[in-house]
Amino acid sequence: MNNKDLAKNVLELVGGEQNISGLTHCATRLRFVLKDNGKANLKELNQLEGVLKAQNSGGQVQIIIGAKVDAVYNEVKNLTSDRLENSEESAASSRSKQKRNPFNAVLETIAGIFTPILPALVGCGMIKCFATVMAALGWLEGSGFMVIINMIGDLIFYFLPFFLAVSAAHKFKTNPYLAVALAAGLMHPTILNAAAKIAETGVSTVDFLGMPILLMKYSSSVIPIILAVWIMSYLYPLVNRVIPKFLQVLLTPMIVLFIMVPLELIVFGPVGSHIGDWLTNGINSLFSTAGVLAGAILGFFKPIMVMFGMHYAIMPIQIQQVATLGATVLIPTALAANLAQAGAAFGVFVLTKNKTMKSAAGSSGITALFGITEPAIYGVTLKYKRPFFAACLAGGIVGGFYSLVHTTANAIALPGLLALGTYTADRYIYVIIGCIAAVVLAFVFTLIAGIKEDIDGSPSQKTSGTVNTDQSNTVESAVPSETSILSDSSSDMLIVSPMTGEIRPISEVEDQAFAQELMGKGIAIVPTEGKVYAPFDGVVEALYRTKHAIGLKANNGVEILIHIGVDTVSLKGKYFNAHIKQGETIQAGDLLVEFDPDGIRSAGYNTITSIVVTNMQQYGDVLTTASSGPIRESEALIKLIP
């Protein structure tokens, strides 16, 4: 699926353009702020080729794409109108109507403000890394070239309020140019020059109508401008409502600036700066008194924070530390965690027999080495669970070690091998030792812990294996008759095939959501007839509007998903005819859906059908009758062991 088609499907499955009140992206994921999260079809989003994971976290619907997220983001933006960026009133209305968890709201706000400026942060950070390496080697020292290179590396921090003003204005849906004017108020030479001369002049305040304005340097501040833009997002429409329409263009900006600039200099600037200093000094104090423990905890939990999108919560502190102190103690723990995920992915690469998973493990491990870990986490280590926690343990150990040797980073860059020039420690060799240790420890821990997968290489939640297809031991022999759709034999349960065709391992499905068993464990069938029958008595829990996928629940609680074809959601129901409705009660053998295999194939789509048990965690194991061979409708297909 190309980027444009993926963008179209994503846009449709989040509820359409009208359901979107905000959209940003980070290095690996699209972040949608929706008016109604219930309209987002996470199940189908997770099935899309090119989507590693879709989840609702921190008040956002996050769709993890991987390295090509920027291209997909641009395609989504191309498919949407300017309303998505300029609907100030509708977004404000949506914001007032939604009742969200305050913690989630804060996380979502922080992520929404900082993710758009990541390119500038990372770009300047990598330039800073280059300058540091050049200085360490003594190359071109004192030259004009190095002067300009250092200038480029420092751009983001000298003018940080301007970057944050634009980003915050988009997040809070207010006028971005007035937001920049507020940043200019903090950065004006009247304030900066006077603040720089306090020691010389002894003047630390300016009187404004009897109220003191503290002279402070705000060039690298984070919180003051965010607070000011947030308050302005409420003041601006309030002033607009009071001023007659024919005077709004003249008076509204004037009144807003007249109120906001003194207010930010008197209140938000000093308060925000003190909060930032308190957070920065507090983190440094924590690392100085309990550094090993603090580093170990952050190194262990960093991947878990990434899963929930919570790693952006500490970004303002990292930026504030680099801006005010020249270095941060937090990023080295992220370096340890990222490299540990790479090591765990390489461990899976060695252990797995599944060719698809081996390829995914190798490529995602390399990506993690350079600071992007979502493909490794969602596509590999978390899937097997043990490698994920092996990486967490290795990251915790190395995070503690980095804190012990006082490792810091002097720039905001992706925590990976390319940014090693930004790190310092008691001795630089400790940084290298930590990198090697993170990869090797996670690799070894993964080899020790092992992975559980079926004979065909598919990951297993519990005990792995497939049912022997020898006649004396076939699952079919445990079925009293061909009309038994779901039965017990020695407490085991059997599910029969809902269609006729050729059995294939689920790993052969060209859809990673199924091939990697993110949706559940099961089997695939290449249909030779275009009919799907009910495999048991139960109810239709889900019938997708495109009719290509059916969710069923048996009377005894077994839940399965039947997904006809790969990417057939794009057909929008063409070639499919449903004979049932969602919520309808079904009997074993009922015809559920008819489809045209030849028509689907002629349209360029694969008809291989995935049949997975979606509540497999409730069973001791989910086994299949065979990994290949013909099967007819109503013959035993899957065995569930309690």
HSE, CB side, 13 Å, CA atoms: give it for residue 616: 25
| Dihedral angle sign, alpha carbons of residues 65, 69, 73, 74 | negative
Q: What are phi and psi of 214, to 5 degrees?
A: -70, 135
Q: Is 392 a catalytic residue?
A: no
> Per the residue annotation, which of 129, 406, 563, 579 is the catalytic one?
563
Distance in angstroms (rounded) separating the CA atoms of residues 270 and 177: 23
Of 236, 229, 224, 313, nearest in space to 271 by CA: 224
Contact call for residues 266 and 213 (beta carbons, < 8 A) = yes
CA distances, 375 to each of 60, 340, 360, 389, 485 (Å): 19, 14, 8, 16, 39
Tokens of residue 253, six digits: 């900006």
> Per the residue annotation, which of 26, 129, 392, 435 is the catalytic one?
26
The residues facing 527 across adjacent strands are 501
Helix (H, G, I), strand (E, B) or coil at 373: coil
Tokens of residue 504, six digits: 């294939």
Q: Is 26 a catalytic residue?
A: yes
Determine the angle formed by the axes of helices 144-158 and 160-172, rounding to 10 degrees.
40
Tokens of residue 34, six digits: 């929706």
CA distances, 514 to each of 362, 519, 522 (Å): 19, 6, 9
Contact call for residues 477 and 471 (beta carbons, < 8 A) = yes
Q: What are phi and psi of 593, to 5 degrees?
A: -145, 140
Of 431, 490, 450, nearest in space to 620 by CA: 490
Residues designated catalytic: 26, 563
